[in-house]
Structure 1
Amino acid sequence: MTPDYNTLLLAIALSGFCLSATLFASWLSSRVERFLLSWSIGIGCIVPAVAVYSIYFSNPDFRIGCLAFMLQFLGFAFIYGAAYRFRTGKSARRRIVLLFTVSTFVSVPWLVVGYDGIGFIMLNVMIAGALVATAREYWRGRAEAPRPLTGMVVLYLLTAFSFVLCAAALIHGRQWVLGRAPDNWAENLNLVVAIVGITGIGAMSLALNQWRVAGNHQRAANTDALTGLLNRRALFERHGDEAIGPHRAAIAFDLDNFKSVNDRYGHAAGDVVLKVFADILGEVCGAAASVARLGGEEFVVVLDRTLPDRAQHVAERVRADFAAKLIPIGRRSISCTVSAGIAFGGEHCTSFDSLLSNADKALYTSKRNGRNRVSLAA
């Protein structure tokens, strides 16, 4: 027995309500991933939109139709906003308002003036466009989780295509004035695709959230909370078991007289100094290097495929940039210096522990020779 149109609408409403509640509960548990809240609001708007549209299907009053249109536009605008926020981490408020306003402006007036067929064509076109834009956002951010995001993109595009078919069916039949809700093969197909799409996208969205939560926990375990650099654990996980050859270098840094900064200006000021130094390390060393804070005022940079002149240049630039930096502390500015030691792996390969030990020895040579300098291990 084939389900009728109202049964399919009811299925969409129920699945949408359950998904909206699940997404909202997922967001409520941590209140971190705001894209889940936007997604929940979007689906939450689709549910009453379906209810209002079912009333319009039985009682085709243009005022009911206008309300159904606007609720759908609002829902799909929030769904797009969720995708934008997922990819960028930025608020999509303006984009949501713009998409809702444009969609309403190009569709609803046709219902008011009696050309409801054109209104439904524009409804389907605008929703398809919103879904394509949503798919594009997830496609651009697919590097974070390629498989679930690619699956979501496919489902969004299939759903968008079903709305395009609805518009095409009305255009092909030259149905500019209907006097009722559209009822054809494309509409029935669209409802089936929407049910599958809501279920599939919802499941993938929840899986994606868990993926991101797990990734955040992994990053937190491997990141120094103050500076955002690698911590000691992450550094040794990355290099601890490697055999270090002659073209890999470690540069050990230690801030000079850092204890006096804490004693004189307070630990908050010391934290500012550490963050400034970490920023300089990131700017000078780039993404190719492994940059870590070992603890306190001790930092290490590991350079791959490098020569002594290059390592010396990096260490000297970090030292000089930090010495020249005026660091605002309250109403005053202070300057600090740093000492560094450079060590390379051996011809017959050196353990990572030995490499760091040699870099430390070179560092303390710099300390003994007056600080604010760079030394190369013998």
Structure 2
Amino acid sequence: MLDYKSLLLALGVSAACLVVTLFGTWFSRRTDSFLLTLVVALALIVTGIFAYSSYTLQSGEMWVCMAYIFLVTGFSTTYAASVQFRTGRKPWMLTAVLSILCIAVGLPPLLADLDGVGLIVMNVAAAAFLVGTGWQYVAARREAPGPLCGMAILYALSGLSFVLCALVLITEKQWTLGQAPDNWAENLNLGVCIAGMTGIGALSLALHQWRMAAHHRHEAMTDALTGLMNRRALFEENGHRVLKPSTAVVVFDVDRFKSINDRFGHATGDLVLKLFAEDLRSGITPGQTVARLGGEEFTMILENVLPGRAEKVATDICRAFAARTIPVGDTILKCTVSAGIAVGSAGGEPFEAVLSRADNALFEAKRGGRDRVVVADYLRPVTVTETRTSA
């Protein structure tokens, strides 16, 4: 059977291997900055483990103080990494504040030969940080429920094992030890931490792969120029839908876009598309769909609207874009947009069919002189300068 010192060494080696693994994982995709913070945290914990291992071999104030400082700093950094994962905020100020607070509370008893009290503080702090880390991952579980909930459970169990270590010292009133504590709770703590370290490492790698897959999927579904949903994403989300009369599809097209590219260059053309995408975003309520179909053509899906309301939304967007002034060198560029609208039928109509009718309405708007909105079926043109009131 392994003794306490062997278990402690195994934990240190396991943590050191995890540091190397996670650093390599972070290095492959440096956008996951929380992984680097976690690597720093584990490096501090590994240093603390080996300092504590030295304390078990030769009792001394220096070793226990070093172990305390590195361990509480490592655990506070672990918590800060979880906060960084959930919020995206840089963790270093939080790490510094928590570490300084823990050192200020626990270091004086260690220096005053009350090493038992100092170790109780360390165990309580470690438990609080680990349980807090688990809670942060639970709060962010929507991103990847499986790995995050698994990590939260392992962090919570590890934190509970530190609570048991503190309770044994308190119940036995071991305020002064003179050596590292050696009891059933300490052995259980090491076993739980070794298992937890392995599980957390595996789940961290799974989480990294999950995030990479989500990142690549987002890139595949997003128009790189405007940041809007692209055609592929539009049809993946809506291609199977059957639309009723309460759903409207609007197709927009920037008027004379080819001449803008030919006269001012493609950089100006790209700017025009980006600005129109901004107007589309600001012209709808949250939950509505906006996408770039390709080239200078965009589409919008409006839910729970009457045709008149959809017409007004499209007209307002066209009017807002026409009012823009776009500086291009010494020239002021003004652009217009045409739009076609179609709504679903009472018996239900496939999304692609409604989109096709909206595209036909757009063609009528272009043929009718551009800078206007046309609603499919009865094809009534509305110029963007017209003042309307709609339901």
TM-score higher than 0.5: yes
Residue in structure 1 matched with residue 21 of structure 2 by the alignment: 22
Separation in structure 1 between the aligned mates of residue 308 and residue 375 of structure 2, nearest angstrom: 10
SS in 1 for 2:298: strand
Taking only aligned residues, the RMSD between alpha carbons, in angstroms, comes to 2.1
> Higher mean Cα deviation, 252-261 or 186-195?
252-261
Q: Deviations over 1:243-302 (max 9, x none)?
A: 333332210011223334434443333323322322332233234222110112110112
Distance between the aligned counterparts of 2:324 and 2:51, measured in 1? 63
Does the C-alpha gap of structure 1 residues 116 and 315 become closer, same or farther in structure 2, counting only changes over 3 Å?
same
2:124 matched to 1:154? no
Give the secondary structure class of the aligned counterpart of 1:143: coil
Quote the Cα distance in structure 1 between the aligned partners of 2:326 and 2:81.
39
* Residue-by-residue CA offset, 1:315-363 (whole Å, 9 max, x unaligned): 1232233334455667987543322111112234333332122112222
In the alignment, which residue of structure 1 is the partner of 2:170?
171
What is residue 300 of structure 2 aligned with on the other side?
301
State how far apart, in whole Å, the 1-side matches of 2:329 and 2:137 are: 43
Written as runs of structure 1 = structure 2, the 5 A alignment for 1:345-360 is 345-360=344-359
Identify the residue that residue 318 of structure 1 maps to in structure 2.
317
Q: CA deviation at 1:94?
A: 1.4
Looking at structure 2, the residues matched to 21 and 333 of structure 1 have their Cα atoms a distance apart, in angstroms, of: 56
C-alpha spacing 1:335/1:78, structure 2 compared with 1 (3 Å): farther
SS state of the match for residue 144, structure 1? coil
Residue 290 of structure 1 is matched in structure 2 by 289
Which residue of the partner structure matches residue 222 of structure 1? 221
SS in 2 for 1:339: strand
What residue number does 1:231 align with? 230
> 2:54 matched to which residue of 1?
55
TM-score (norm: length of structure 1) = 0.92
Alignment of 1:206-217 (within 5 A): 206-217=205-216
1:338 to 2:337 alignment = yes
Match of 2:7 in 1: 8
Kindly state the Cα deviation for residue 168 of structure 1 after the two structures are TM-superposed.
1.7
Equivalent-residue separation in structure 2 for 1:144 and 1:367 (angstroms)? 44
2:328, 2:94 → 1: CA distance?
Answer: 39
Amino acid at match of 1:132: V
> Residues 170, 257 of structure 1: CA spacing in aligned structure 2 closer, same or farther, 3 A cutoff?
same
- Secondary structure of residue in 1 paired with 2:342: strand
Q: Please, which moves more after superposition, 284-293 or 52-61?
A: 284-293
Structure with the bigger percentage of helix? 1
Taking structure 1 as reference, are residues 370 and 30 closer, same or farther at Cα in structure 2, changes over 3 Å only?
same
Name the structure 1 match of 2:109.
110
Distance in 2 (CA, whole Å) between partners of 1:146 and 1:332 is 53
- Structure-2 separation of matches of 1:331 and 1:73: 61
How far apart, in 1, do the equivalents of 2:159 and 2:323 lie? Answer: 57
Q: Which residue of 2 aligns with 1:139?
A: 138
Partner residue in 2 for 1:249: 248
AA aligned to 1:274 is: L
**1:278 aligned to 2:269?**
no
Tell me, in whole angstroms, the C-alpha distance in 2 between the residues paired with 1:164 and 1:331.
Answer: 71
- Alpha carbons of structure 1 residues 278 and 125: separation in structure 2 relative to 1, 3 Å: same
Identify which range, 331-340 or 271-280, moves more after superposition: 331-340
Q: CA deviation at 1:33?
A: 1.4
Give the SS at the match of 1:288: coil
* 1:169 Cα deviation after fit: 1.7
What is the aligned partner in structure 1 of residue 123 from structure 2? Answer: 124
> Which SS does the other structure have where 1:151 is aligned?
helix
Paired residue type of 2:366: K
Residues 315/36 of structure 1: CA separation in 2 closer, same or farther (3 Å cut): same
1:188 equivalent to 2:184? Answer no
Alignment partners' CA distance in 1, 2:68 and 2:330:
57
1:329/1:137 CA distance change after superposition, 3 Å: farther
How many angstroms apart in 2 are the aligned matches of 1:291 and 1:113? 66
Unaligned runs of 5+ in 2: 378-391
SS at match of 2:251: strand
In structure 1, what residue type is equivalent to 2:337?
V
Q: Does 84-93 or 135-144 show the bigger shift?
A: 84-93
Larger deviation, residues 153-162 vs 307-316:
307-316
User: Does 86-95 or 267-276 show the bigger shift?
Assistant: 267-276
- Please give the alpha-carbon distance, in whole angstroms, between the structure 2 residues aligned to 1:276 and 1:19: 47
In the alignment, the residues of structure 2 paired with residue 45 and residue 262 of structure 1 have an alpha-carbon distance, to the nearest angstrom, of 56
When residues 331 and 199 of structure 1 are mapped into structure 2, their CA distance, relative to the original with a 3 A threshold, is farther
The runs of 4+ residues in structure 1 deviating greater than 6 Å are: 330-333
Measure the CA separation in 1 of the matches of 2:331 and 2:142.
Answer: 44
TM-score by length of 2: 0.89
Q: Secondary structure at the match of 2:142?
A: helix
Amino acid at match of 1:76: F
The range that moved more, 242-251 or 337-346, is: 242-251
Between 1:32-41 and 1:330-339, the stretch displaced more is 330-339
Q: Which amino acid aligns with 2:296?
A: E
Amino acid at match of 1:194: C
Q: What is the alpha-carbon distance in structure 2 between the residues aligned to residue 85 and residue 296 of structure 1?
A: 38
Aligned length: 377
Please give the alpha-carbon distance, in whole angstroms, between the structure 2 residues aligned to 1:369 and 1:94.
Answer: 62
Identity, % of aligned positions: 49
Extract unaligned runs of 5+ from structure 1.
none
Give the aligned residue type for 2:219.
A
Q: Displacement, 1:44? A: 2.0
SS in structure 2 opposite 1:306?
Answer: coil
- Distance (Å, rounded) in 2 between the aligned partners of 1:19 and 1:118: 31
